[in-house]
A and B are shown apart, each in its own frame.
Chain A
Amino acid sequence: MTGEHELLLSLAAVLDQVDPVPDHLAALSEAAFCLRVNDFVLLHRTAATAGMRSGSPALRFVGPTTTVDLQLHLDGRTGLHALGLVHPAPKGCTAVISWPGGERTAAVDPIGWFSATGLPAGPLRVLLRRPGSPDLSTGWFVG
């Protein structure tokens, strides 16, 4: 076990036994390709901001003209709860919260708030559907 290459190959084999990639993750990784949506304007995520109401960290997604703040918290009874604020408030906009295998649609109120409950923990994405304009996407993040 003197050669560096051989040593590293042996180490990879050992790590594969000790902490293997879960089988289901390999399948989910391949399946991600089928879930892509291409026709949207991507909002850029910035560092966690101050909370919108409770002071807990929120995610902020910023685009050329629109910002989305999103706060997530886990409710033991109903799962993950998302509270979002779109500003400036758009007219007639809906938020589609997606995860691999499902989605939930929430109306955005005139002030810009939207909320959804019962979301699964794991990858999430929010698409804002705006009449007459391209969708805005937060991109995928872990909720």
Chain B
Amino acid sequence: MRELTNTDLVALAGAGDADAWREIVRRHLSLLWSVARSLRLGEADAADVVQTTWLALAENLTRIREPAKLSAWLITTTRHEAIRTLKLRGWETPVDLTGSRADQPAPEDVVLAGDRATRLWLAYAGLTDRCRQLLRFVAYAPDLSYDQLARAMGMPVNSLGSTRSRCLTALRRRVGAEVAT
């Protein structure tokens, strides 16, 4: 299954192939979790949103017009459902003034095995919201096109390349700074 394209997998799953479905889930679950969590949903709501996306996909396998754009469809569906859930709960996306976030623990509360992982985490946690969101998507789905990434981020595609480079540079610089301190 791992060598098949998303188009192949959608066709097979649409015909009832459960293995193809499991492969679609394996490829995208961490990414969709990231999309929901990056919009500041707590764990329970994020899990509801991602589950809802899978339920929607299962019933739309034969209706998706461009199966090659499966990743984009999943990202867009998850993002829309997450935003609607925030509104349903009466929340707007909060501004990160206090450093208290629903989608990740405080940097100092995280214990990771190994200095390297700890340095990387501290460097990542110190980035801007936008850089953290973008790099999280890129880390889980390095093959996403800029167009797909822009959908996931809810930002214009034309500034994505420069933002991506800037965020990676900032992460590298911060990892270096963590080594130096």
Query: Which residues of A are in contact with B by a Cβ distance under 8 Å?
Result: 1-2, 4-5, 7-19, 21-22, 24-26, 28-30, 32-33, 35-38, 42, 48, 57, 72, 100, 121-123, 125, 137, 139-143
Q: Mark B122-158, 1 if CB is under 8 A from A, else 0.
A: 0010000000000110111010000000000000000
Query: Which residues of B are in contact with A by a Cβ distance under 8 Å?
Result: 13, 18, 21-22, 25, 29-30, 33-34, 37, 43, 45, 47-52, 54-63, 81, 84-85, 87-88, 103-105, 110, 112-113, 116-117, 120-121, 124, 135-136, 138-140, 142, 168, 171-172, 175
What is the number of contacts between chain A and chain B, taking CB atoms within 8 Å? 135
Given contacts A5-B142, A13-B117, A38-B59, contact A18 B104 (CB under 8 A): yes
> How far is B61's CA from A37's CA once the two chains are assembled, in angstroms?
11
Of B45, B57, B88, B171, most buried by chain A (CB within 10 Å of CB) is B88
B138 touches A8 (CB 8 A): yes
A11 touches B124 (CB 8 A): yes
* Closest 8 A/B residue pairs (Cβ): A32-B54, A36-B58, A140-B55, A12-B139, A33-B21, A11-B139, A123-B52, A122-B48
